[in-house]
Every structure is written in C-alpha cells, then in structure tokens.
Structure 1
C-alpha cells in the first residue's frame, strides 16, 4: 500500500473537520465576541453620522453628553470583545496545534512504522509548522464569520440610507471574493510545494548533523554541504515564488477593497449633492467606506489561510493515514525461550540458520560487516517479517506471530551507533527512572571512570548526541543502557569498537558475568568478547560456516585466525 496522495484532498479535509468539530464551543464563543467587535466597529461611523444629524437639530449640552456616552459604550464594547474573543480563539488554536503535534509524534514513535517515504527532518516539519498551520483554521472560521457580519451590517446601514449604496457593497464584495478565490487556489498549490521543499531541506540538515563526525573524518563535509545547499536553494526559490503569489494576492485584495471604498464614498457624495441623502448619512457613508476596508481585507484574506491550512493538513495525513509497513501478530513470546533463525534470507544473508539456547552467551563474527548489519536489522524488527525469507523464532514463536511491543520487551538489540540524548548520564542509562540494575550496568560497561571523573556523578550533564563525551565514552554509555534494561534476550552489535584493548578485555569479562543465565548474542570481531562467549559462530557468505569456542577456532581455522587475531 502507498501513503496518501497529496492530490487527494480527503485525508486533509478529514483532519480539518476533526479540528473544527472538537472546537465548536470555543469557536462559537469566539465568533460571537468577534462578531460583536466587528458590529461595534461598524457602529462607530454609523453613530458619528447619527450624532452629526442629531446635533444639527439640537445643539444643547445634553445632546453632546449623550453622544459622548454612546461613543464610550461603543469603544468599550469594541475593546473588550476583541480582547476576550482573541483570547478564546488563540487558546483553542494553540491547544489544537498541541494535539496534532502529539498525535504526529505518537504515530511516528509507534513500534510499527507507517509506510511513508518521509525522512526524520520532514516529519519534524510536519509535527511543528504543519500542525500549527492546520490549527489556524480554528481562528480563520470565526474571523471569516465576524468579517462577514461587519460587511452585512455596513451594507444594511448604507441600504437604509439609499438602496444603491447597500447593493454596491454587496455586489462589490462578491466580485472581490470571486477574483481572489482564483488566486487562493494558486497559493494552495504553491504553498504545498514550498512546504515539501522546506521539509526536504530540514531532512538534509538532520542527516548532516547525524553524520557530521564521520564526514569530517574523511573530508566529505564540503560535498555534503554542497548537497544541502542545492536542496536549500530549491526551497528558497519556491519560497520566493510563494511570496510573489502572496504579494499579488494581497496587493490585488487591497486595490479592490480601496476601489470599492472609493466607489461607496463617491456614490454617497453624488447622492448627497443631489439631495438623495442627508449630511449625517453622508458622514456615515464616508466613515463606513473607510472602515469597511479592514473587514473586507480580513474577509478576502481568509481563503488564503484556508488553503494553507488545507495544504498542511494534507501533509499531516501523509504521516497519520499512512498504513503500517507490517501487521504484527497478537502473541507474546514464552519466557525462558531461546533464539532460532531458520533459513533467513535478507540482504547479504543467504539462508542463515543457527540456534541460541536459553541462557547461553553466543558470539557471532561476520567476515563482512554488511552481514552483521543485516542480521541486526532483522532481529531488531527494523525489517518486517514478511520482507525476508525464512523465520526468526523467539521463545518458540516466529516474530510474525508476535506483537512488536512484546518482541522488544523480550529481546533488546543494541546497535553499534546507539543514540545518546541530551540530559544526564543517569537519564541516558535509565530513561524511565525505574531500572534496578543501573549500578551493575555502569560497572560492567566500565563507565565508572566517567562517573568518578565528575562531581555530579551519574547526574553529570550530557549534551545533545553526547557532544561532550569521547567516542569510547558514548559507546560505553550505550552499552550501560542496554545492560541496565536487563532484557531476557540481549543482542549487542559491536559494543566495544571505540575502546582500548585493556578496557575491552574487562568489559568482556564483566558482560559475561552480569549476563550469566540470560540469553546474550554479541555480533563482534573483538577477540576479548569472542573468548568470553560460550561458543562462536562464524558468519561468512550469508551462512554459518564454522562453530566452536574461540580458542578451538584459533587453533584449527586459519581463515578465522587471520580475521580476528590482533
């Protein structure tokens, strides 16, 4: 199955409908208050016209006081209704944006990934900018309705003075919106493309940050930067295109609104000159003609924001409506069971078969790194069971029969490049704060020297991606986290490649001791870890070609000796 098509508006429309439906109460309150604000704004020029009309007949202080009081009431109504109306709408907007951010993050963090082609940087953009722009629909609809209220009230007031003035406002508004509707569709298409290109640029940045150290190591940082620059340039060009379309839209809207205001003013002047309306009505008409520009501007801008919200909602649907890459089973593995691979074919693996009994400590040395990486991916369920041949059995049941959550609770696969997070040593080792084996894990991974080096101990601050730790310290911290989890089956992939030989020897002994009685598989070429294992499996050409203890293999297998001896 494929991810939702960007050209299909249904998933995005469903998201917008959901956002509107669960904010009906706030939107109704906001619409009433903002409608009251717009009505008050419209009443101001109407009141001025009436005051002029009344004052010309009665010029006493009582009339002046009444006029000032009426204006004070209108101004107070306008101020309070705007203040509380925007408070209601912005609270609903930010709350709704938070809901969508959390939902996108929860979908991405599910054990079974969605079938999308999006990179992490693109998902980050969707979870932030697109979530915010989708939630803007909560403000757009009430502002649209309140602007309509202002236009209707102005048209009615002018129509009472002269029907031709009211009709001019109504016909002019319809004509303006018809012209702008065409431009708003172009804005939607341009915005979708801009969002996609910005997301790709964000994904490229994320990739660069992750690979910054190795890029510096072999001098590839300049080429990588050039690749990012090309992606960013595409995003910049599209942003300029969108800015041009937006500028055209807003300029056209402003020009048309000004033309309508001028037409109302000139028509009112012509009618007053001919005696068709009074001086007070002329003042009202000119005031409304000036005022109506603002609600018309807001009213005419709403279609643009609707298109932007719709485009963002469609991008969120790429994540939220994406089908899972696999359908996991409902079962859980039996406790105390071992690990079995039965003719597994995937990538460099060519019918791989072996069995690790419960409680055994087995090392697998692969002559080709890709074979170890493919094996680790299969065991970590990063590859769906239906994407490879053969079967992997955990506790006697195939991975296809088990839920992903159950597999990962039972079996932990710790990658060689385990991520280090900003926080402390303790939160990296025990993220949930419920681990009972933190001290033992710290000792077994030889992280004790790092802890002792700092006054805060395990509470020593760790920067993002472990930037203030050496490569060996990061690797030992990742190993400590894996050991502290105390998984029933633990798979370690090259856990000691960045540490010195003496430390590696100590870690091998400590891991074997700590994991005694628990099933442990180590993918490694380290002589220390190979020697600490109960038995060693040699992976070559995608299959197991030899099996024995490390020392027996050294004595009787020349190829093995050349591959692992240091």
Structure 2
C-alpha cells in the first residue's frame, strides 16, 4: 500500500513540480553551463566593439594579439559550455521521460474504476508522447534562464554605452514576452485538445485491430474504416489548427524580435551619427542587435513549450490519478484456501451462492454467457467490492479486505480473450522466465504440435496479438500460460472453444491431471471439460440451479442435457 509520500501526483502542475524537484542538480549544472554559453555568445559582439575601439586608439600588434586571444577564449567557452550543458540537460530529460513512461505504464496496467474512460490506445499515447513532452520542462527552464542571462548581459553592455540603448532592450523584451505569453495560452489549449483527439484515434485503432477477425467475419470492415476515418479526420483538423496557431506564434515572435533588433540598430546609428557614442560602441550595438536575436527567439519560445508541457502533464494526470478498482486491504489470503461465493448480486448474478473446496476441480456450466463474464470479472478483482452485494471469500477471508496483488498471487483468472504478445512462444507462456511448469504446461495445453512445427521450438517468433497463429493455437498458448503460472487457485473461462473435439478431450484430461491437488474453476459448456471435473455447478438465472457430476446431470436434468450435449 502506498504511503502519502509515494502517492502519484493528481494534477498536471504537481507532475511538473515533481519533475523539476527530481532534477534540481542537473538543472543547476545545465543552467550554469548554458548561461556561460549565452554569455559567451553575447560577449562576442562586445569583444568586437572593444577591439575596434582600442585598435583605433592603439595600433600595436600586441593589442591585436591580445584581442585575438580574447576571442579564442570566448569561442572555446561557447563551444564547450554548449556541448556539456546540453549533454547534462538531455540526459536528465531522457531519464525523466523514462520515469514517467514507467509510472504511466504501471498505472495503466492496474484495473481502475469503470467511471474512468481510458482506453489502451489513449494510455499508450500518454505513456509515450505526453511523457516525453512533460519531461521537456527539464530543458525549458535552464534554457529560459540562460536566455535571460544573454538578454541582461546585452542590456548592461548597451546601457554602459548609452542608458537609452539598455532601456530599449529591457522594455522591448518585456513587451515581447507579454504579447507572446497571451498567445501561448491558446497554444496550450489547442495542444491539449489535439493530444486528446490523437489519443482517441489511437484507442480506435487498438479496438479495431483487436476485433479485426470478427469484423472480417460479418463484413464490418467498411463501417469500421469509416468510423476510424471520422476520428482520424478530427485529429487531423485539430493538428492543422495547432500548426496554424504555432505558425502565427512563431511568426509574431520573429517579427517582434526583428523589430527590437532594428530599433536597437537604428538608435545606435543615430547616437553614433550625433556623436553621443563611439564607433566601437556602434559596432558593439549593431553586433548585439544581431546576436540578441537568438536568445530572444529562444526566450520567446519558452512560454509555448511550458504550456505544451503542462498540457501533456494534465493528460498524464488522467492516468496517474485514476482511482483503483478497489482500495487494497491489509490482509493476505492463506495459501491453499477454498473459494466461497456468498449471496453475490451483480449484473446477471442474482444472489449467487457456491463453495469450491481447496484442491477441487469444479466446472461451471453457465446458461447465460453474461453471468459467466460477470462472475469472472468479480473473481479477477475487476469489479469494486462496493459495486456488488454479498461477499467473496478466499480461505475464509473476504476479498474486500485483501490486497489486490496478494489475491492475484494466489488466484489467477485467465480470460477467454487473453492477449498474445509479440515475442516468442516461450516468452508468452513464461513472461518472467521462472516457471517450473513450462514443459508440463506446453504438453497439457496440447501446444506440442505448434512447437514441433518450427525449428526454433519454443523460441519461435510470435507476432503482435498472435497474428501468425490460428485461433486454436492462440487459445492453447493462453491456456499454457495460465497452467505454467501454477497458482493455488486457477479460474479458466472457455479455454477450449477454438479447438477440435479430439484435442478438447485431451486438454480436459490434462487440465485435471496437471491441476490435481490445486483449486480449479472452469467456466465452460464443453462436455469433455465438464466430464473431467470433480463436480459441475449449473449457473442459470444468476444462481446455482443444480450440481452433480456431468454424467449424472445428463441422466437427470433435461435442460442441462439440451444445453451442453453436442
């Protein structure tokens, strides 16, 4: 259970503060080095002005050599400070982005309250693009400060030549930033909306890919394509809007900076013509007017990047602040305990009562598929205990008082639509690489023929979502993964619907053999699996309507016979 100090940030501003606090050291060093870079860049025209000034007064080779040496020092400082400053900042940026990606992925993999409308495609976008954009704040702040240093150095140098020139730079910078800060708010709002629409488009793609085969089956390809095109078009239109706003912002920033540079140049020229400043000061002023364009440009772009980072941080907060499906309890279930369902009412379940003894193999024949799905969701802790009546107990302890992690260590609920991941057969069956049941799981799930088909065996490559496997092979691979976990309590949901009758018969016997002595519950209508179970519970109208062995029920229950006989 997380302590208050380790609670994830709930707002975008808090995420940005956390990122800044974790990288104070790197940002300080980066600010110092980038400040040296900007100061060196700005010192270059100052040095040129001084060279002209003193060369005109003292035409000795020694003065010229000293001036050239000073320029070499400035150039070296500029080169090294930029190199090492950006190295420090980009390393911190990359590391921070990695931290947020991991944290978003961790939260995204946990079940959250059903009221939170976050799809897997959206979480993917947030964990990649938004995490990177949020971490950019690590570079933005030092660059903002270093740009300010350059502007101040230029203002002071020009002020020493003539106070009016220094004031012109300071006042002009304040005016430029005031105008651009107003425009940056529009960018932040537009960017946040664009990110939301791109995330929705990503979620739509993920949904369509996962349902591609069923869509092919009933000819829904065109309708799905039209649906995605609509969402993608909305994202494109918003992207065009953001690009337009960014273009206006960049154009305005460039124009304002150019106006300020021209004003400094013209003012310095007028002062030199009037004899109020020297030729060396004029050269310095003209040079600074040109060099100041870069820090001013960088300085004026920072508000935009701050708003973009904040918009991304707000998107990340949607995931990090999503309430868990249930508040973890302090207790841990005892190993090898029984499973008891006491008066559960939820969805299609209407006061369900049943008990599975420790080590028993029970099959549940659900006449309504929704009832089986609701039952499996509760056991998988995908439904908050407050959302259903009654109690679920493992080893005599109520599910509501147990840690979700502890429940899942003891009980594995394998869904009928379990995902297949890109990798190999081995990594799909044993992701952690620690299972001692790998050979038995492969044999029990009848995956041996798939392994034997390929020279690489278990190291045969599997494409994303098992695209290079048949439906039956994917189902057997998922079953092998569940059996390899070797959990104390295993719940399977229709594990043999995509295999032929002969294979189904062998799998049913193998499950009973491999799981002997450990609690197993299987939701199924397969006669082979029902016959292999120690006991069959008939789930009808949300309650247990009958229980016995499969063969006794076939002989005595006509409704059961009609439902499961093939």
Aligned counterpart, 2:450:
450
Q: Distance in 2 between matches of 1:177 and 1:328?
A: 48
Q: Quote how far apart the aligned CAs of 1:318 are.
A: 1.6
CA distance in 2, matches of 1:12, 1:211: 34
Deviations 1:451-497 (A, max 9, x none): 12222222222222111111111111111111111111111110000
1:495 counterpart SS class: coil
Question: 1:556 matched to which residue of 2?
Answer: 556
Q: Compared with structure 1, are the counterparts of its residues 79 and 412 closer, same or farther at alpha carbon in structure 2 (3 Å cutoff)?
A: same
Deviations 1:218-254 (A, max 9, x none): 1112211211111111111111111111111111111
Using the alignment, how far apart are the partners of 2:413 and 2:79 within structure 1?
Answer: 61
Number of the residue aligned with 2:476: 476
Kept in 2, the 8 Å contact 1:114–1:319? The answer is no
Superposition pairs for residues 103-502 of structure 1, below 5 Å? Answer: 103-110=103-110, 116-502=116-502
Query: Is contact 1:114-1:322 (8 Å) kept?
Result: no
Residue 347 of structure 1 deviates from its aligned partner by 1.0
Q: Residues 358-416 of structure 1: CA distance to partner in whole angstroms, max 9, x if unpaired? A: 22211111122111111111111111111111111111122112111121111111111
Contact 1:115–1:324 (8 Å) recurs in 2: no
SS in 2 for 1:104: helix
**Aligned equivalent of 1:5:** none
Query: Matched residues in 2 for 1:116 and 1:339: separation?
Result: 30
Q: Distance in 1 between matches of 2:560 and 2:274?
A: 108
Per the TM alignment, residue 22 of structure 1 is displaced from its structure 2 partner at its CA by 1.7
Distance 1:135 1:414 in 2: 37
Q: How far apart in 2 are the matches of 1:366 and 1:106?
A: 34
CA contact (8 A) 2:111 2:325 kept: no
1:59 to partner: Cα distance:
2.7
Asked if structure 1 preserves the Cα contact closer than 8 Å seen for 2:336 and 2:395, the reply is yes
The DSSP-based 3-state class of the residue aligned with 1:546 is strand
Contact 1:376/1:413 (8 A) holds in 2: yes
Paired position in structure 1 for 2:6: none
Is contact 1:114–1:324 with CA below 8 Å preserved after alignment? no
Using the TM superposition, give the Cα deviation of residue 111 of structure 1 relative to its aligned residue in structure 2, in angstroms. Answer: 6.1
Q: Secondary structure of 2:11's partner?
A: helix
**1:537 counterpart SS class:** strand
Q: Is the 8 A contact 2:110 2:324 kept in 1?
A: no
Task: Number of aligned residue pairs: give it.
Answer: 558
Residues 111 and 404, structure 1, Cα contact 8 Å, conserved in 2: no
Whether the aligned pair in 1 keeps the contact of 2:94 and 2:135 (CA below 8 Å) is yes
Conservation of the 8 A alpha-carbon contact between 2:112 and 2:323: no
State the distance in 2 between where 1:234 and 1:475 align: 37
Partner Cα distance (1:528, 1:465) in 2: 28
Deviates more, 1:109-118 or 1:217-226: 109-118
What is the CA–CA distance in structure 2 between the aligned matches of 1:249 and 1:25, rounded to whole Å? 32
Deviation for aligned residue 1:32: 1.0
